[in-house]
Amino acid sequence: MNDMDELPNPSTPLAFLPPAGADQFEQARYLYAATLGAYVWDIGLNLRNDYVLLFKHRIRFPTIVYFLSRAFTSAYILAAFIFQVAPVENCDTLLLGLSISSVLTQTATATLFFLRVTAVWHPSKIAYAVFFILLLAVPAGGITVPLGTRGAHIGPTMQCITTAVPDTIELAAIMSLINDTAVFLAINYRILAHTMVADSSMARLRVFLGGKGLSALSRALLQSGQHFYL
């Protein structure tokens, strides 16, 4: 009896992975399934607002960027889910599309927050220049992902797994984190510095944590920025 006959279910991809790798692969499946479910739920919650934004208001550049961010993020999460759970004919092709959609997602979302931070800091040319450079750094770091990531089938199955990851892939996460942190701090500083009456660190902390004492717009900027960063 050969090794294939000894396996209870030889078509199961996990049978061809070492125990540690099989555990990680299964955990990644749960993670991507949960992410897809959460994002679909988020789309459902915001469907009415998105409809109003698209059909009841004039479409401007920020609106276009917002829906591009939505579309690229949806494509990225869906492609990642398919890569983890579905039989795929060409793993490299799907992984390339997944990697490209990741770069586009990061870039579109970073552009949204670039528009926000430059509006908050208007008319500072220094702020515009600094955050424009950070915006360019996001796709520059992210491009390392599709250039070196490779995938292959697990054994004789049609299930895919990532087989090669470039050493420079950390740049994608690092540059995105630096940009997000800089935008987050810059917006919070601007809001707290220009809307607080009491010059007190504890008062600013209470406003930062609860948004009390701010205008509706400032509170929305503060809290939505916190939600995104977390």
Residue 189 belongs to a domain: no
Q: Does 179 reside within a domain?
A: no
Please check whether residue 115 lies inside any domain of the structure.
Answer: yes
Q: Tell me, yes or no, whether 202 lies in a domain.
A: no
Does residue 132 sit within a domain?
Answer: yes
Stretch 83-89: mean pLDDT, rounded?
94
Look at residue 184 and tell me if it is in a domain. no
For residue 85, what pLDDT band results from cuts at 50, 70 and 90? very high
Which range (94-103, 184-193, 214-223) has the least confidence? 214-223
Sign of CA dihedral 145, 148, 153, 154: negative
Q: Is residue 197 part of a domain?
A: no
SS3 67: helix
Decide if 172 contacts 142 (C-beta within 8 A): yes
Helices (H), the chain: 3-6, 19-45, 47-55, 61-85, 91-120, 125-142, 144-148, 170-195, 201-210, 216-229
Residue 224 pLDDT: 86
Phi, psi (rounded to 5 degrees) for 122: -60, 135
Query: What is the pLDDT at residue 81?
Result: 96
Residues 39-76 have pLDDT tens digits of 999 999 999 999 999 999 999 999 999 999 999 999 99
pLDDT of 208 higher than 70: yes
Check whether 1 has a pLDDT greater than 80.
no
Confidence of residue 79 (pLDDT cuts 50, 70, 90): very high
Domain count within the chain: 1
CB 82 within 8 A of CB 101: no
| pLDDT of 58 | 93
Q: In this structure, is residue 28 part of a structural domain?
A: yes
Q: Please write the tens of the pLDDT for every residue from 171-193.
A: 889 999 999 999 999 998 888 87
Domain that holds residue 69: 15-169
| Average model confidence (pLDDT) across the chain | 89
